[in-house]
Amino acid sequence: MAQTWKCSGLRWAADGPVLTWVGGRHSALVRGGRVAFGVAEGGVRTCVGERGHPCPLRAGVSGRSTGARCEECARLDRAHSVAADTMADDPRPYRVYLAWFGPGLVKVGITAYERGAARLLEQGAVCFSWLGHGPLMAARRTEELLRAALGVPDRIPYAHKRAVRAGLPRSRGERAAEIAELHARAVALGGRPESLTPAPFRGVDHAAVFGLAEEGAGGPGAVGEVTGLVAGGAIGGELVAAAGPDLHLATERGVVVLDTRLMTGWELVPAEGEPCAVPVREFRDAAAGVQDGLF
């Protein structure tokens, strides 16, 4: 019987993206390398639990769910989430940021000061700048001020981020232009909390880190995205880019985007040259022996 692996998610380390596995192992992902795996025949996707605690029911979850949690575990997970406004008494300092994902896609958000830019890498922010830092509630009020006064959202669906990646501007200056203008407008606003220490505009560009765009060269155009894994299915291809939780894989069907959150909860097996046999939604405007590890 083939050895199976259970993915616990993708994280961004100092030297790039890393897939982590239940049990503590990890697989560093390198552009140009091959990523290939299958889902065990007859497999069922089960709830991943919440915050390190296994689901007591081992409940089944949809193959299309990016959370991979049953209703009760999802509720418990949200109950300990700063993002869900359930931890207003968190004493740690927080940063407010402006993030840009592509033309017309800018958001405001907050992240714990100690995490640095990790949150921006996890979200797939192509370019970002800090706006300031301070106590949690001051950061939250600043976030709300930008939403109300400037109409800046605090959430952008991943589907929208994927749709614009192939058309990113070619230069760093062009990619930073929208958040530079927004930063200036935000600084000029009245009513910002006095306890928030402002930060000057300094655009940080992740395009080269992600492999999406280089100076004078466009990013890899994708033809579609994986909508979910299925028992007995498989996918494999050359890793040409990675942004946030997404892997851009060059398959026989073209470049396909795989959200690694869809991998959690499944029992996965090694794969070799199998074709891309998972459900893929095409983009309307396609821009074009026993292993020591799964990869």
**Which segment of 69-78, 99-108, 178-187, 271-280 scores lowest on mean pLDDT?**
271-280
Q: Residues 24, 30, 36, CA angle at the centre, nearest 5°?
A: 70
Instruction: Determine the Cα–Cα distance for residues 214 and 233; give it in Å rounded to an integer.
Output: 34
Model confidence at 213: pLDDT above 90 = no
Model confidence at 290: pLDDT above 60 = no
Distances from the Cα of 226 to the Cαs of 102, 114, 184, 238, 283, in angstroms?
Answer: 21, 33, 38, 15, 11
Residue 223: which of 281, 151, 290 has the closest Cα? 281
Cα dihedral sign for 224, 226, 227, 231?
Answer: positive
**pTM flag (> 0.95):** no
Q: What is the pLDDT of residues 132-161, one digit of tens each?
A: 999 999 999 999 999 999 999 999 999 899
Model confidence at 286: pLDDT above 60 = no
In which band, very low, low, confident or very high, does the pLDDT at 275 lie, cut at 50, 70 and 90? Answer: confident
In which band, very low, low, confident or very high, does the pLDDT at 2 lie, cut at 50, 70 and 90? Answer: low
Q: What is the pLDDT of residues 55-68, one digit of tens each?
A: 999 999 999 999 99
Q: Decide if 115 contacts 90 (C-beta within 8 A).
A: no
- pLDDT (mean) for 3-17: 91
Instruction: Determine the Cα–Cα distance for residues 152 and 246; give it in Å rounded to an integer.
Output: 24
Element (H or E) spanning 199, and its range? Answer: none
In which band, very low, low, confident or very high, does the pLDDT at 288 lie, cut at 50, 70 and 90? Answer: very low
Eight-class DSSP state of 115: G
pLDDT of residue 225: 93
Model confidence at 232: pLDDT above 50 = yes
